[in-house]
Structure 1
Amino acid sequence: MPNASEQIMASQQMSKSDTINLRKKHIGQACQLFYRSDPLKIVRGQGQYMFDEEGTRFLDCINNVAHVGHCHPEVVRAGAMQMATISTNNRFLHDELVQCAKNLTDKMPAELSVCFFVNSGSEANDLALRLARNYTRRQDVITLDHAYHGHLQSVMEISPYKFNQPGGEPKPEYVHVAPCPDIYGGQFTDKLYPNANLAALYAKPIEDICARQLANGQGVAAFIAESLQSCGGQILPPAGYFQAVYDAVHSAGGLCIADEVQVGFGRVGSHYWAFETQGVVPDIVSVAKPMGNGHPVGAVVTTPEIAQAFHATGVAYFNTYGGNPVSCAIANAVMRVIEQEQLQQNAQRLGEYLLRECNQLKQEFDCIGDVRGMGLFVGIELVSDRETRTPDTKTAHWVVDRMKQVHKVLVSSDGPNDNVIKLKPPMCFSLENADEFLLAFRECLTLHMQQLHAAHPDVAADNTNSVITTAADTLANKTKRFDREDRFIKSV
């Protein structure tokens, strides 16, 4: 029986068609939706699940914003209590602000001990650039191909993911783009260079940029990179890459910025921050999305020296809402929940399981070219030819759509060719959730193989039949369990 607030919400809820029509009228067309041909109207969230206006439950495998789970009770309680007490700007003293700064810096290397609070990842990266340019007195920035760092003008300029699109603004001369360290489909691959030091090969273009800048008497202001590139296709740099790059940038007088907006706060499992997996210490770290579990809050963490140089300009930094008591109370609650519920450890355990099972699928299905990831940050690259590693964008789109329409599992695709199935679910993702994804994904791949076989009968029938039989056995073993869980979730 719905409570009073639920009844009020239901009576005020528009039909999906009315919502779409009102959106078309009043929301800019550049603001795109997931599943544009048949968009979802999500009205409620609970943990790792989202529900549409008809009460259909969807398993959320893509929402790295709801880091500790949609509507986590402790996070909701912390925000509501602080909202009911006071929410004001950060030029008044408040315990939540300083406690949030302490909580953040306690989890960073000792050198990174000073915080600036903002409202988003875009603001965080914009401020990180300001800090670097102020400290170095230089303008030039090195970024990676396919990188995305936000939607402000300053960070759009360093985001090839955006400016390389049709209609994108030209890259400024002071922005230098280095190859993305993608060892599967990038400039230097493990196939073409099987015995090479791939970290050194990918670091060399940045070393060359730094050398040219020094020869021109300019140096660089900063190198910025996502610690694990997300929009670029769930890319894990080869071991030693960031150390070589950081050394080159520092030798050119620049600072190194780690963008942890998508991969921080324990998502990689083995460490709290993804940059730690490479054994480096950045000069500046930007954090946001998972920090607020859906609430707009972010921060820039840096060294006392860089912060003091910013202060020495005499220009005060003031952000009305950055670091307000409500945002900081929510961020503090998120960090508490990560610790109390051991979500970092859960990410490591579940990540290892997902990678192992997805690699098993790779042995069965030729359309899987590569499986990579760390913790609850996994990419599955689909190809039409494993030997040539030809991207299969069409199949990736078909899989994303079928997972949503048939299995009620939400995944997305990304990468330069939009052929990488991305998994970055809320950190409360469970083993049962992983199995639900795997079961649905296997069905999609099996059906895809059947379609290929029907279109090309010369494909080896024995292999196809074997895969289909394995999928059928898996379905028989697991479907009943998921049916029971589905009924339970809908009854909550």
Structure 2
Amino acid sequence: MAAARTMHMVNSYDPSAGVPLGPQTAALIARRQKVLGAPYRLFYQRPVELSRGEGALLFDPEGADYLDAYNNVPAVGHSNARVQEAVAAQLGRLNTHTRYLTDSVVDYSERLLDLFPDHLEQVIYACTGSEAVDLALRVAAHVTGAHGVVITSNAYHGTTQASAAISPSLGPHNVLPPHVVTVMAPDPLRDPSGEGEAAALFASRVGEGIAELERRGIRFSALIVDSVLSSDGLVTHPAGVLAPAVEVARRHGGLYIADEVQPGFGRLGSAWWGFARHGVEPDLVVLGKPMGNGIPISAVVGRSRIFDAFGRDVRYFNTFGGNPVSIAAAQAVLDEIDQRDLRGNAELSGSALKQGLDELARQDARLGQVRGEGLFLAVELVDPDVGNGHDPHPALANAIVNGLRGKRVLVSASGRYDNVLKIRPPLVFEPQHAARLLTALDEVLDELPH
């Protein structure tokens, strides 16, 4: 099997590659690099310049449309009219922090918590998913009196110091501290596939991770898992694969933190939250990006006894967390999901897209496996001529991502080896959009050497 990748975002722009660019694009990139510097990267070998968006489409300055099959942040569509109106109205009325009494944050919190199991009774707001992960780790450490964290080996949980410390997907130079242990995520293509085997294997790995923390003299605090393991290549099946691992964590006195930043808010169609598919009860749930359709808002949802213990001893305040403008955006997002039945659309459109991807995989052995549910799908690219035919093929994934960009269809690549196409469009993505993506992918596969 190929070695794990050594760079993040292999499909990003590399100025040393000599890819020809138009003079205006080249000039804008040069200006950008001068003022933003090395920390900022651009997607695709030929970066996409955008001027506006609408629904599932993005448009360049010349008016050409790009099918957005990647961005989950505008969950209810780019430039959503309901969100615009709600934000503008609230911004013209009041925007302040939560130390003043306002009804909107209470109304929204009641509505949000109604979407969760009864044991998750309270919510704390922040501005970004990274910030919410940071807060969840603080809460877990406070109530357990420990700091050890177990994560998956290619996890991504954020960019603050604490969340980057549990995000190995940020690359080999993002060195993880001693209180963090990684374990291999379930691998649907290569792990044993018998009933219960994947779940038992992952639970065993989590147990070994906790034991490693103990060997280091560090007590275990929390297991945090993205509920669909998206950065590990997307693992939605088998349902229940996370449950035994959560039980192992609980037996060792730790909390289970469900990271729902990517799978949450109905993206999977079948449920509001990814953890629901696994029959588990999180102690804390982290929400982010799609919550406000691009307006900064995030949250940690949890058990009241945990929040009581934290709030009694720790002064927590976030100036912009839960502000009325962000809450207005979040209310509008829930209105759109409910009134337009976007969960149903995720199921319908996602099913059409998955069926088409499955058909392409039957015709082309380079598509080693199609995975996912709703509007969160993945295609693992392999080299069928090497070994047992399951060797990761990141170069092919890179070529497909950039080939699709050339046909104005935007996806990305992820996974431990960067060989998994990541398809995660806004929830307004419809069957005709699925057909466009499938046609473009079929053409790209035909154009690439076998």
Asked if Structure 1 and Structure 2 have the same fold, meaning a TM-score greater than 0.5 normalized by the shorter chain, the answer is yes
Instruction: Give 1:426 shift.
Output: 0.6
Instruction: Give 1:173 shift.
Output: 1.8
Aligned position for 1:447: 447
Instruction: Give 1:417 shift.
Output: 1.5
Distance 1:369 1:339 in 2: 36
Distance 2:299 2:252 in 1: 26
User: How many residues are paired up?
Assistant: 426
Instruction: Give 1:334 shift.
Output: 0.3
Q: Which amino acid aligns with 2:317?
A: F
Mean Cα displacement is larger for which, 388-397 or 437-446? 388-397
Three-state SS of the structure 1 residue aligned to 2:320 is: coil
Instruction: Give 1:168 shift.
Output: 2.3
* Identity between Structure 1 and Structure 2 (%): 38
Q: Which amino acid aligns with 1:66?
A: P
2:60 matches 1:52: yes
Distance 1:82 1:403 in 2: 39
Distance 2:206 2:30 in 1: 48
Runs of 4+ in 1 over 4 A off after TM superposition: 211-219
Distance 1:172 1:258 in 2: 21
Distance 2:404 2:199 in 1: 36
CA contact 2:240–2:277 (8 Å) conserved in 1 = no
Question: CA offsets per residue over residues 142-182 of structure 1, 9 Å max, x none?
Answer: 111100000011111111212xx23222x222112111112
Mean Cα displacement is larger for which, 390-399 or 327-336? 390-399
Instruction: Give 1:212 shift.
Output: 6.2
Distance 2:230 2:197 in 1: 23
Three-state SS of the structure 2 residue aligned to 1:241 is: coil
Three-state SS of the structure 2 residue aligned to 1:42 is: coil
Three-state SS of the structure 2 residue aligned to 1:80 is: helix
Q: Which amino acid aligns with 1:179?
A: M
Aligned position for 2:433: 433
Q: Which has the larger radius of gyration?
A: 1
Relative contact order: is structure 1 or structure 2 higher (C-alpha 8 Å, sep ≥ 6)?
2
CA contact 1:403–1:440 (8 Å) conserved in 2 = yes
Mean Cα displacement is larger for which, 206-215 or 250-259? 206-215
Distance 1:326 1:429 in 2: 26
Instruction: Give 1:216 shift.
Output: 8.7
CA contact 1:199–1:237 (8 Å) conserved in 2 = no
Candidates 125, 128, 132, aligned match of 1:124: 132
Candidates 61, 65, 68, aligned match of 2:76: 68
Q: Quickly say closer, same or farther: Cα 1:138–1:195, change in 2 above 3 A.
A: closer
Distance 1:138 1:228 in 2: 26
Three-state SS of the structure 1 residue aligned to 2:100 is: coil
**Correspondences of 1:85-484 after superposition (within 5 Å):** 85-162=93-170, 165-169=171-175, 171-185=176-190, 188-190=191-193, 197-210=197-210, 219-236=219-236, 238-313=238-313, 315-385=314-384, 387-405=388-406, 407-448=407-448, 451-452=449-450
Instruction: Give 1:384 shift.
Output: 1.4
CA contact 2:70–2:410 (8 Å) conserved in 1 = yes
Mean Cα displacement is larger for which, 40-49 or 174-183? 174-183
Aligned position for 2:34: 25
Instruction: Give 1:213 shift.
Output: 5.8
Distance 2:289 2:173 in 1: 27
Structure 2 segments unaligned to the other structure (5+ residues): 1-22
CA contact 2:228–2:274 (8 Å) conserved in 1 = yes
Distance 2:247 2:320 in 1: 36
Aligned position for 2:87: 79
TM-score using structure 2 length: 0.91
Distance 1:394 1:237 in 2: 26
Instruction: Give 1:311 shift.
Output: 1.4
**Greater share of residues in helix:** 1
Three-state SS of the structure 2 residue aligned to 1:416 is: coil
Q: Quickly say closer, same or farther: Cα 1:48–1:216, change in 2 above 3 A.
A: closer
Instruction: Give 1:189 shift.
Output: 4.0
